[in-house]
Structure 1
């Protein structure tokens, strides 16, 4: 059996003023839980082929653009102050909507929920986001059931997490869903991370 051909593609969207831990935390979880790259192929993707300037002036070179990235099986949408801009970027929201029909899981981290909320993909779901952005999310989806105390919420195809480090907890949860509890616990042990499973 060719394991390499079965590796799932994990695309992590990055954009200007993204919160570093929102994407680096899940990146670390998925590469650590990838069985040395045999089960998961993790990469960053951005709208443009240029360095992305995250919060704190961290410069990141995306692996791909949305025009040339491998088809994702798992799509991660991180948050940060830049989410308030990208939520109005129809190029990004249209790309997410188009990708949604072919992916297995979409994982929102922190205020990444604001971006996904603009795609109409969250209607009728249980939601969470960064505690400081609850009212912003409620303004977009006033009738949504928002679980303010949840670290992460599983809606099947869409998993949403609360702020920053909660994205690592949700990522470990996705690893558990894909590969079982022992893989997730082993990933957390290797990272020396105290997995909050609430």
Structure 2
């Protein structure tokens, strides 16, 4: 999912992991696309621009939804159309992942109530304020919240979570090929 003021690596890191998985193993099941919260170009941190192929108003729930973080998450907490779409994805997507403060959006949608989750270290208190029943995990790169919901810590932790998901869905061999291709310190 793309939106204005998203953190670049929160968005681009997982995007790259799933794309590289397809390149190193053509049997990988990932079809990567950008779904925007609105039509038109979306500008992330530092001027990074994404032109989504669809909007949340047009798109059906993807098999894997990734909600990046960044300062742009805060306005999303008060946009009912975004929160409702996230809730719909929770019902229909196989996996819903958040990176960094994307966890705040999942929390606003009620997806982290009563479960363990993580986020950027600077947003632990904000996560608790958004979802008081969430057990904030402060010392892990990523956390499985439920069968289908995962959260990761700040920024680069989204790459680790994405690699883990590639390993779960495509196996350790494909994950290791992605790690080697990206020269990631796994």
TM-score scaled to structure 2, two decimals?
A: 0.94
Q: What's the Cα RMSD here? A: 1.3
Give 3-state SS (helix, strand or coil) of 2:31's partner.
strand
Structure 1: which 5+ residue stretches go unaligned? Answer: 1-12
Where does residue 6 of structure 1 map in the other structure?
none
Output the CA distance in 1 between the equivalents of 2:131 and 2:39: 32
C-alpha contact 1:31 1:37 (8 A) present in aligned 2 = no
Task: Indicate which of 36, 50, 69 corresponds to 1:79.
Answer: 69
Q: What is the count of residue pairs matched by the alignment?
A: 183
Q: After the TM superposition, which residues 41-190 of structure 1 pair with which residues of structure 2 at under 5 Å, given as runs?
A: 41-155=31-145, 156-190=147-181
How many angstroms does 1:23 deviate by? 0.6
- Name the structure where helix makes up a greater proportion of residues: 2
Give 3-state SS (helix, strand or coil) of 2:86's partner.
helix
1:42-91 C-alpha deviation (Å, 9 max, x unpaired): 00111221100111122221121112235410000000000111121111
How many angstroms does 1:38 deviate by? 5.1
Which segment drifts farther, 129-138 or 49-58?
49-58
Output the CA distance in 2 between the equivalents of 1:142 and 1:189: 40
C-alpha contact 2:21 2:28 (8 A) present in aligned 1 = no
Q: Does 1:21 align with 2:12?
A: no
Output the CA distance in 2 between the equivalents of 1:151 and 1:191: 18
Output the CA distance in 1 between the equivalents of 2:154 and 2:27: 27
Going from structure 1 to structure 2, the CA distance change for 1:153 and 1:84 (only over 3 Å counts) comes to: same
Output the CA distance in 2 between the equivalents of 1:26 and 1:191: 12
Which segment drifts farther, 142-151 or 75-84?
142-151
Output the CA distance in 1 between the equivalents of 2:171 and 2:111: 27
- Name the structure where strand makes up a greater proportion of residues: 1
Give 3-state SS (helix, strand or coil) of 1:26's partner.
helix
